[in-house]
Chain A
Amino acid sequence: MSRPHSVAVTVNGRRHERQVEPRLLLSDFLRHELGLTGTHVGCEHGVCGACTILLDGEPVRSCLLLAVQVDGREVTTVEGLTPEPGTLHPIQQAFWETHGLQCGFCTPGFLMTLVPFLAENPDPSETEIRQALSGNLCRCTGYQHIVDAVLAAARNARPR
């Protein structure tokens, strides 16, 4: 075992301090140290997108970051999308309404990719959506219902 390092990170608005081995991946830190199991671990080499989280507001793969690297930074996970349990973020609501998930394994990664995407591009075309989602893999539903969910979320966010 190599020398532990201290990490102090704000996750979903709460500050956490831990001693970690340098080789601990951020995805495992979130799940095992902080108990935030909403961040899913699929391929662990940056291809599937299931572990996508926000680092200082930008989507990144948490399996390609070491926990020590987020010292002093701000992380948002799927648990941080809504203020309290039992409520849904508008994009989660749209996934539910359009059957955008089946087994749900890939869903947190999709959501964490889409929240900053829609913030930057509130009225995306279907092509733009498919490009934005090209870094997230789903093996159940196919992508059509997920694309429908993004279009619905964008539509719902527009003033009527």
Chain B
Amino acid sequence: MKPAPFEYEAPDSLPAALDLLARHGGEAKLLAGGQSLIPVMNFRLAQPAFLIDLNRLSDLDYVRRSAAGGLAIGAMTRQRRLERDPLVAELAPLLHEAVPFIAHPQIRNRGTLGGSLAHADPAAELPAVAVALGARLRLARAGSERWVDARDFFAGLFSTALEPDEILIEVELPPPTPRIGWAFLETARRHGDYAQAGVAARVSLDGEGRCQEAGLTYLSLGGAPISAQEAAGTLAGVVPSPAAFAAAAEAAPGEIHPVDDVHASAAFKRHLARVLTVRALTLASARAAQGMAAAQEGAR
């Protein structure tokens, strides 16, 4: 229950961290919040020879409005800050709604946005939120950078597009569009436990109140976040209604891949997916309609 020996460095600049990673890439692990890495090190399921601690990179801890009017968030931003920052609530209400589902305050005080995305746990909230929001991820290596869309970043169970010499440094979220509503829901045995099933729903309305476009992204129902294109597609051009939500929910289980575990059977998870889909679409549509009413009120 104690980590195996390792060498440790805590660089105080990103170039220094990238340089260390370039030299030790194969044998090194990056330490962000440590809320997933340290447990597996304590169990000795992971025994990295070298640990590069990113916690001194305070210039990767920020939440700011991007040039496009969305959000730019540093990878070392703590989850607790995402929960409390008014800019997140304003510009990424889905993220704001999802963060309190992540474990417990003691964990969110350390856990980071970038760490959770790079860890790519299929039961985690932030990867699904990143996919649902259409996030772009900025990856750096010594001497160069590249951007990867969240939907291309998650390759499967605990695996991502990150190369061994790359660090995820920033997450960019697009600005919210008008007449859009979001909802995030999950079920767990106990508040803060890993989700048995969860969903991030998006509903955009057109000027007449019909559904212009919808999105459904599931967590804990496959090896990576799953965007259910067909289920969401059933809503296009349709007036939001309980029958329309039920039709989408019936399509969703065809696109998810739950497996039995100690928390729930695959069959029960499919049931949860249907129930959560209806609830999340109902909430997201109501919020989109509220936004539309408020905009019309403002225009008068």
Contacts and interface: CB of A to CB of B under 8 A. Distances in A.
Contact of A22 (B6, B35, B39, B42): B6
Contacts of A63: 38, 42
A33 interface: no
A65 B110 contact: yes
A135 B192 contact: yes
Nearest to A46: B39
Nearest to A72: B56
B6 A23 contact: yes
A95 to B, nearest CB: 19
B53 interface: yes
Question: Looking at chain A's contact residues, is the secondary structure mostly helix, strand, loop, or mixed?
Answer: mixed
A127 B83 CA distance: 19
Interface string A98-116: 0000000000000001000
A21 B106 CA distance: 25
A97 interface: no
Nearest to A5: B8
B7 A46 contact: no
B300 interface: no
Contacts of A5: 8
A110 B235 CA distance: 47
B107 A2 contact: no
Contacts of A65: 34, 38, 110
Contacts of B10: 68-69
27 contacts: A2-B7, A3-B7, A5-B8, A22-B6, A22-B8, A22-B51, A23-B3, A25-B3, A25-B42, A28-B2, A44-B1, A45-B43, A49-B104, A52-B106, A55-B109, A58-B109, A64-B38, A66-B38, A68-B53, A69-B34, A69-B53, A113-B105, A131-B192, A135-B103, A135-B105, A135-B107, A135-B192
User: Which 3 pairs, one residue from A and one from B, show the smallest C-beta to C-beta distance?
Assistant: A135-B104, A22-B8, A45-B39
Interface of A: 1-3, 5, 21-23, 25, 28, 44-46, 49, 52, 55, 58-61, 63-66, 68-69, 113, 117, 130-132, 134-135
